[in-house]
Amino acid sequence: MTTSAQCDFTFPLSRRGDVLPEEADLLRDKHPVAKVRTLTGDEAWLVSSYALAKQVLEDERFSLKDTANPGVPRQYALTIPPEVVNNMGNINSAGLRNAVMKTLSPRADKELGGWLEAEAHRLIDRLVDQGPPADLRDGFTEPYSAALHCRLLGIPTDDWRRLMSGIDLAFVTSPAVFEGSTPNWYKDLGYMLDRLRADPAPTEGLLGRFAELRRSPDVLEQDGLDQVGSGQVSDDLLATVALSLFGAGAVSTSAFLLHAIIALVQQPELAERLRREPAVIGRAVDELLRYNLSIGDALPRLALADVQVGEVLVRQGELVLVLIEGANYDPEVFPHPEKIDFDRETNPHLAFGAGQHFCPASALGRTHAEIALQALVERLPALRLALPVEQLAWRPGFIKRLPERLPLLW
């Protein structure tokens, strides 16, 4: 048992999203719970095997909410208001869970599949009109993901660019708080407040539900929600929920789609299989989720008690970082993890996390990617990188590994 291993690694690992950082395998094999130094200079335990990652994520003595406390060790500076870290906790305690979960459920919106398909084809039509090469991030993944989130919230699609540029700043990972972070957040929060209070009031999406709630707080009860927050939910909280869902969702879906496209265009036989056997798309997306390296940092948790994790006794108050790529490439669970295999018998990957904070929109994230990827492989069968993969420019200092541009030919 040890509590004082040397800080041998600095974290985060490489920003490149096309190759597994070499430290990931080394850490998992030799030091599955390793002491690392983070961007802020704090110490943390980096957990990189599947079994231990799952243990930490499923044990509520490892808290996400408490990572926002003042004075605790950090992965990077907190550049969003601390209460936003406990997003789902706030949603639950305000009695808004059902309204939010309904918004995030692809099954609750019968027209969603057809709408996503039309949106994907509209964007591909535009790419085809303009001709190759084209940047699929600007021309496809971002507008497609953002449009979905505008629909979910019930805000005009034309506003997507201003919201996406707010995210670019909100999710910067920095050793220290920077000047633009607070005004950036409050500018976008102001936008959501204006939409919520608009006259006429919004009628669509989550903001439509929230507008109804503002008019008659007892809709919480009609929705079958608990009554904890009935009549007491502030506009600020409603706008914060809307903004943080846009942020969490648009950046995650767009980033994953970029990674999935990069993987498919490098292995055309996989895209060919999807054209021949469209029924494989569900399993294919799950495997691409396992394989993708979009989570650029690690999932942070603060230990609320002394807890044994593998060979290390993690002490109360210490920061634990769960390395998702470590878990998802663990050969104990995923034989030949470096291979994209649509036929894996089981695929219990952790791309959506695990435990209490498991992504509440995993079904939506899957549907979004399945429709986009199927449309791309069918419409653009010769899709390929316009430059060597090593030339992709990966964004530094951001919560996701993102290529700044994804220039493709077809």
Nearest residue (CB) to ligand HEM, 196 versus 285: 285
Q: C-beta of 178: minimal distance to ligand HEM in Å?
A: 23
Whether 371 and 268 have beta carbons less than 8 Å apart is answered as no
Rounded to a whole number of angstroms, the minimum distance from the CB of residue 383 to ligand HEM is 20
Task: Provide, rounded to whole angstroms, the least separation between the CB of residue 360 and ligand HEM.
Answer: 5
DSSP string, 136-185: HIIIIIHHHHHHHHHHHHT--GGGHHHHHHHHHHHTB--SS--TTHHHHH
Minimum CB–partner distance for residue 131 and ligand HEM (Å): 29
> Is 55 or 253 the residue whose CB approaches ligand HEM more closely?
253
The residue among 85 and 124 lying less far from ligand HEM, judged by its C-beta, is 85
Q: Between 252 and 374, whose beta carbon lies closer to ligand HEM?
A: 252
Q: Which of 114, 94, 91 is nearest to 103 (CA)?
A: 91
Sheet containing strand 43-47, edge to edge, reads: 9-10, 33-37, 43-47, 319-322, 299-303, 62-63
DSSP 34: E
Which residue number, 81 or 132, has a Cβ lying nearer to ligand HEM? 81
326 in Cβ contact with 299 (< 8 Å):
no
Q: How many CA atoms lie within 13 A of 219 on its CB side?
A: 15
CA dist list (Å): 52 to 48, 290, 354, 381? 7, 17, 12, 41
**Residue whose entry in the numeric block shows the structure tokens 């903001």:** 207
Contacting positions for ligand HEM (CB under 6 A): 64, 87-88, 104, 245, 248-249, 252-253, 256, 299, 351-353, 357, 359-361, 364-365
Taking CB atoms, the residue at the shortest distance from ligand HEM is 249
CB of 37 to ligand HEM, least distance (A): 21
- Cβ closer to ligand HEM: 133 or 208? 208
Query: Smallest distance from the beta carbon of 259 to ligand HEM, in angstroms?
Result: 9
